[in-house]
Amino acid sequence: MDKYLQRLKEIYRAIDESYAEAQRYYSFSCEGCNDNCCVTKFHHHTIIEELYLAEGLKRLDKDQIKNIISRAEDVVRVHKSSAEDVRVLCPLNEDGLCLPYPHRPMICRIHGVPYELFRNFKMEYGDGCYRFITAKNNMTKDFRINRTGFYLELAQLEREVREALNFTGKHKKTTAEMLLSIFCSR
Ligand code: SF4
Ligand code: SF4
């Protein structure tokens, strides 16, 4: 699996570079944000991202893992019993910090700044997170991260991983669900 994880790392590196470029362009940072996007119910669709996240969690000790599992169970419970857009903190966020930061999934890296994405034969646009939009209200959103290439590369990588693992099912999980898979089903 190492060669696939390495390729994902490269995709992430390119995303981080684009994100940093957008941040510089807009003089935008997440510092002091009260509208933490770690409470968003993001879904992740790739096995390779779960495997990469699992790698990043290997350095944690038993107590940290126990706490993460407990928080993940709580989050799954809240998600199940609430509306789709319920906001509850990601189990990996501890004291405002992402525990496996270098291994966080793609959406956590790319969320927040304006983007464009070509899919389903049309171009989609996003204007950034709420804080970005309110802070940069008077700015033309003329710099957008183009997510298309990143999504295509990730999709291709995922296809190869599934083939290697002989996996044909669906993979759609929140971070909390991925954590329970990582710690409780392996
Ligand atoms: S994985 Fe990290 S960055 Fe992503 S939502 Fe969880 S704590 Fe936040
Ligand atoms: S991306 Fe937006 S919502 Fe998320 S932490 Fe940064 S400023 Fe806050």
Residue 13 lies in a domain: yes
What pLDDT does 36 receive?
86
Dist. CA 127 → ligand 2 center (Å): 13
Q: Which atom of ligand 2 is nearest to the CA of 28?
A: 7
Amino acid 75: pLDDT: 97
Q: Residue 167 C-alpha to ligand 2 middle, in angstroms?
A: 34
**pLDDT of 172-181, one tens digit each?**
999 999 999 9
Is 30 domain-assigned?
A: no
Write the CA distances from 18 to 46, 104, 133, integer angstroms. 21, 16, 19
What are 88-101's pLDDT values in tens digits?
A: 999 999 998 999 99
Contact criterion met (CB below 8 Å) for 169 and 50? no
Predicted local confidence at residue 81, as pLDDT: 93
Q: Where are the beta strands (DSSP E) in the chain?
A: 43-44, 93-94, 97-98, 115-119, 122-126, 145-146, 173-174
Q: What pLDDT sits at residue 186?
A: 66
- Residues 116 and 125: beta-carbon distance below 8 Å: yes
| Joined tokens for residue 16 | 């981080």
Residue 83 has pLDDT above 90, yes or no: no
Q: How confident is the model at residue 140 (pLDDT cuts 50, 70, 90)?
A: confident
Domain count, the chain: 1
Distance CA 80, CA 103 (A): 26
Contact by Cβ (8 Å): 172, 45: yes
Between the CA of 35 and the centroid of ligand 2 the distance, in Å, is 6
Average pLDDT for 96-109: 96
Measuring from each residue's beta carbon to the nearest atom of ligand 1, which residues come in under 6 Å?
A: 38, 90, 92-93, 98, 104, 108, 175
Residue 64 lies in a domain: yes
pTM of the full structure: 0.94
Helices (H), 27-119: 47-56, 62-81, 106-110
- Does the beta carbon of 35 sit less than 6 angstroms from any atom of ligand 2? yes
How high is the pLDDT of residue 32?
Answer: 83
Residue-wise pLDDT tens digits, 14-52: 999 999 999 999 999 998 887 789 999 999 999 999 999
Query: Reading across the β-sheet that carries 115-119, which strands appear in turn?
Result: 122-126, 115-119, 145-146
pLDDT at position 35 is 78
- The two tokens of residue 33 are 């944000």
Average pLDDT of the chain, as a whole number:
94
Q: Residue 156 pLDDT more than 90?
A: yes
Q: Does residue 121 lie within any of the structural domains?
A: yes
d(CA 41, CA 56) in angstroms, rounded, equals 21
Residue 17 covered by a domain: yes
- Quote the pLDDT of residue 141: 80
- Which domain does 119 fall in, by range? 2-25+35-184
